[in-house]
Chains A and B, each alone.
Chain A
């Protein structure tokens, strides 16, 4: 097992290099750069000034050189400084990550718990009215984009009814209170959660349906076991193994945040930081974000595989 882990980790390193290099190249191919993104037609800046600023930021170097500069800083633990605000990138991420974790954590928790439960019920009560209505909800949920749902929620609950704030992390001007913060996270988390619940529900449902048809379920019943034991120990114990995959994938999403929802709700997470960085061509921030999420995803995959092997004894690594 240890050898397997080491192998996996070693394989991930060239993967990370590849990912970051490709992203770097793609980002650099976008027209314009950080300096041009900062000026506007209202503040005419001389060409000299532009050239000088470019030089300071190292934007006049050939692309591979810029990439290597960035990489050499990274291996020394330095993610660089934002071209736009000169803040340290690691600082920027550290400040914003908790908000993203809160939003994604709440929504994922809701969607996993709700989705798996509804999916399981739906599968066990196949062909019933419950099943059909859950199925319809599932189709609708998968079809609605989460930002659209978010806008509808804002329109109804924040603007018309005024039950919740339209945006933000907390009410400005007030001291931070957990209740106030929860009021703010509710709508964006709900927008994200409803859509994901539908996805998880469909996934769980089909997984459990597949298990339901298996012979060992029939055997369990033939042994005269109580139905609860049949459901929990035989159906769920097998049917929920794929849910591990769901959770594993979700970990990546957990850290990456939802760019669109964070922007609509002005939620100060790293998703919003990322999109602002892309528009502003803020290369260090873009790369910092990509590196972070790539690492998280790779780690999450590894953890998922390990948990999988614990849950399903047929899978063992050496």
Chain B
């Protein structure tokens, strides 16, 4: 009697357990032990890798008929997510400079419409000598959140600080055109000789070469810091200074609470120079795991989704579209060219026919249609903007026979194992890279996929052990950024160097007029398309979603033609309000 009880109860409980376990694991095969990094795009901030577990994806891909949460956010409060590693301070973080959007301002900031800059702390500026010098006229009605007035001293302090190598600012290189930068970089002095204070509200900046786009392309990377608070702090002690826990700034919000890598709170700044914000409070919560972020979005605990780190995975967009309170932008152009990163220092990749073979081996359109669920568009160049692309780019259609022929011509050794690195961990990208590897193998390139974390990937660039990698990087701001990945001597060029390309880049910066610049970039795109230092694959989308209770948030993103990574975007945050 006892025995039967035991058996029946055992079987029943097992059945119950299996049914619960299998329901959430609907579509995705769970793979890998739970110690993988979050789906970290290289565009995500540096020390961002929280532990994302494969099973979290399993649970997250629930059937899309979920009832979902109704908007239950508090009135007057905007709640946004953040990735970890951002709260340390904007000088040292690459991605997610959203904190600067709320608390600090720059002289000028890129408009969300991506067609120029908005004057902020500088109400206007004059260009001299075709870009050899700029005179900034600063606003005189701006106060720091501690009441002190904003003056030119703050601008000087900030520019000197950004340039100072002891500070370790990531974007120090943006100021490399300023006269005196070399001396600061070598440690000979701590002030840029090319920056002078004309009066309390005027600053003059001299450049070593004419750079008409200085304000559009360099200035937005700098957020102005308060000299009266920070000038007494030694440069190497700036990072970790308590200032970052109590940021005094000129932005629409004033920081009231900061718990490092956990949350940041701010209240509306009544003296904000563009007008008091309609929202009362802004709250940023840090999420190390992007699936936790998605869960929070679904439960209505945050009002939006970040595009850094991958946004909403394309296979989960439907789940969020089903929620009535969310506006989902499923086809948000990320301005993100994805490519096969090829190490041109390796002899076997030096032959352009091998690189052409790689392009012909991959069936890009089919991958887009199937694995990527139709999102993304084929690309043969890295410039997102139409005007920068040549019209007659070679397409490299899917042609495995041609690929094999090219490889034979080039004397390719198909027994050589090629290490193909991947640092995205979401399922769609995993499947994509697996598909690419399979197609490469089919033509005789023995590609073996290896998942790595960011640090490992960077290390492989340094020690030249990199062979192939699947990578992407944001180019949305301006085509001139392309030099960072294709210029001579650049780390990310990984062995590629073409003097003519470098010359064309320099030409492209010689004017602010798009019509004048365009031919240079079109030529560059044509050369790169033929020389194939990288295998450009497609443009990515980054689906994002926002709670409609915040009026202005989703609307602003809808007007944004493509996502701009890495810099604070002027988006009229002070006009948003809750319904």
A37–B492 Cα gap in the complex (Å)? 15
The answer to whether B491 and A47 touch across the interface, beta carbons within 8 angstroms, is yes
Specify which chain B residues have a CB less than 8 angstroms from the CB of A268 in the assembled complex: 259, 261-262
B424 within 8 A of A: no
A30–B74 Cα gap in the complex (Å)? 45
The answer to whether B56 and A264 touch across the interface, beta carbons within 8 angstroms, is yes
The answer to whether B9 and A279 touch across the interface, beta carbons within 8 angstroms, is no
The answer to whether B288 and A272 touch across the interface, beta carbons within 8 angstroms, is yes
Beyond A44-B484, A49-B172, A85-B239, is A140–B13 a contact (Cβ under 8 Å)? Answer: yes
Tally chain A residues at the interface, Cβ within 8 Å.
73
Closest Cβ of chain A to B128, distance in Å, is: 29
The answer to whether B88 and A159 touch across the interface, beta carbons within 8 angstroms, is no
Q: Which of B13, B173, B285, B298 is within 8 Å of A159, CB to CB?
A: B298
A172–B74 Cα gap in the complex (Å)? 10
Beyond A173-B79, A266-B286, is A30–B455 a contact (Cβ under 8 Å)? Answer: yes
B367 within 8 A of A: no
A147–B289 Cα gap in the complex (Å)? 13
- B153-161, B199-207, B457-465, B504-512: which lies at the interface: B457-465
Q: Which of B170, B281, B471 is within 8 Å of A45, CB to CB?
A: B170
B168 within 8 A of A: yes
Beyond A40-B42, A276-B50, is A86–B9 a contact (Cβ under 8 Å)? Answer: no
Specify which chain B residues have a CB less than 8 angstroms from the CB of A40 in the assembled complex: 42-46, 94-95, 454, 458, 473
A282–B473 Cα gap in the complex (Å)? 25
Beyond A264-B53, A264-B292, is A43–B170 a contact (Cβ under 8 Å)? Answer: yes
The answer to whether A129 and B53 touch across the interface, beta carbons within 8 angstroms, is no
> 1/0 per residue B3-24: CB within 8 Å of A?
0011001100100010011001
A265 within 8 A of B: yes
The answer to whether A44 and B490 touch across the interface, beta carbons within 8 angstroms, is yes
A4 within 8 A of B: no
Among A111-144, those with CB < 8 Å from B are 127, 129, 132-133, 136-137, 140, 144
The answer to whether A166 and B292 touch across the interface, beta carbons within 8 angstroms, is yes
The answer to whether B281 and A173 touch across the interface, beta carbons within 8 angstroms, is yes
Among B339-363, those with CB < 8 Å from A are none
> 1/0 per residue A133-174: CB within 8 Å of B?
100110010001101100110110011101001111101111
Residue of A nearest to B11 (CB): A136
A259 within 8 A of B: yes
Q: Which of A137, A162, A280 is within 8 Å of B69, CB to CB?
A: A162
Closest Cβ of chain A to B350, distance in Å, is: 22
Q: Which of A36, A82, A88, A148 is within 8 Å of B55, CB to CB?
A: A148
Specify which chain A residues have a CB less than 8 angstroms from the CB of B20 in the assembled complex: 152
The answer to whether B295 and A147 touch across the interface, beta carbons within 8 angstroms, is no
The answer to whether B453 and A43 touch across the interface, beta carbons within 8 angstroms, is no
A260 within 8 A of B: yes
Residue of A nearest to B459 (CB): A32
A81 within 8 A of B: yes
B51 within 8 A of A: yes
A225–B135 Cα gap in the complex (Å)? 98
B370 within 8 A of A: no
Q: How large is the interface on B (under 10, 10 to 19, 20 to 34, 35 or more residues)?
A: 35 or more
> 1/0 per residue B276-307: CB within 8 Å of A?
00000101111111011001101111000000
The answer to whether B84 and A172 touch across the interface, beta carbons within 8 angstroms, is no
The answer to whether A151 and B55 touch across the interface, beta carbons within 8 angstroms, is yes
Specify which chain A residues have a CB less than 8 angstroms from the CB of B87 in the assembled complex: 85
The answer to whether B295 and A43 touch across the interface, beta carbons within 8 angstroms, is no
Q: Which of A45, A136, A137, A276 is within 8 Å of B261, CB to CB?
A: A276
- B59-67, B138-146, B432-440, B547-555: which lies at the interface: B59-67
Residue of A nearest to B72 (CB): A162
B132 within 8 A of A: no
A177 within 8 A of B: no
Specify which chain B residues have a CB less than 8 angstroms from the CB of A101 in the assembled complex: none
Specify which chain B residues have a CB less than 8 angstroms from the CB of A158 in the assembled complex: 295, 299
A82–B485 Cα gap in the complex (Å)? 30
Closest Cβ of chain A to B154, distance in Å, is: 23
Residue of A nearest to B69 (CB): A162
A127–B289 Cα gap in the complex (Å)? 45
Beyond A44-B484, A159-B298, A260-B53, is A33–B455 a contact (Cβ under 8 Å)? Answer: yes
A31 within 8 A of B: yes
Closest Cβ of chain A to B533, distance in Å, is: 14
The answer to whether A160 and B453 touch across the interface, beta carbons within 8 angstroms, is no
A272–B87 Cα gap in the complex (Å)? 16
A154–B292 Cα gap in the complex (Å)? 9
The answer to whether A260 and B62 touch across the interface, beta carbons within 8 angstroms, is no
The answer to whether A169 and B298 touch across the interface, beta carbons within 8 angstroms, is no
Specify which chain B residues have a CB less than 8 angstroms from the CB of A165 in the assembled complex: 299, 301
The answer to whether B301 and A173 touch across the interface, beta carbons within 8 angstroms, is no
The answer to whether B259 and A155 touch across the interface, beta carbons within 8 angstroms, is no
Beyond A32-B456, A132-B9, is A41–B88 a contact (Cβ under 8 Å)? Answer: no
A312 within 8 A of B: no
A145–B484 Cα gap in the complex (Å)? 45
A88–B239 Cα gap in the complex (Å)? 11
A52–B187 Cα gap in the complex (Å)? 12
Specify which chain B residues have a CB less than 8 angstroms from the CB of A87 in the assembled complex: 240, 260
A303 within 8 A of B: no
Residue of B nearest to A136 (CB): B13
Closest Cβ of chain A to B258, distance in Å, is: 11
The answer to whether B239 and A275 touch across the interface, beta carbons within 8 angstroms, is no
B226 within 8 A of A: no
Beyond A45-B491, A166-B292, is A263–B50 a contact (Cβ under 8 Å)? Answer: yes
A186–B419 Cα gap in the complex (Å)? 45
Residue of A nearest to B74 (CB): A173
> 1/0 per residue B255-266: CB within 8 Å of A?
000011111010
The answer to whether A280 and B459 touch across the interface, beta carbons within 8 angstroms, is no
A44–B566 Cα gap in the complex (Å)? 12
B236 within 8 A of A: yes
A44–B461 Cα gap in the complex (Å)? 12
The answer to whether A132 and B5 touch across the interface, beta carbons within 8 angstroms, is yes
**13 residue pairs bridging A and B, Cβ less than 8 Å apart:** A30-B455, A32-B458, A43-B171, A44-B492, A45-B491, A49-B165, A49-B172, A49-B173, A137-B13, A155-B62, A159-B69, A168-B301, A272-B288
Residues of B within 8 A of A (CB): 2, 5-6, 9-10, 13, 17, 20-21, 24, 34, 37, 42-47, 49-51, 53, 55-56, 58-59, 62, 66-67, 69, 74, 77, 79, 84-85, 87-88, 92, 94-95, 165, 168, 170-173, 236, 239-240, 259-263, 265, 281, 283-289, 291-292, 295-296, 298-301, 452-460, 462, 471-474, 484-485, 490-492, 565-566
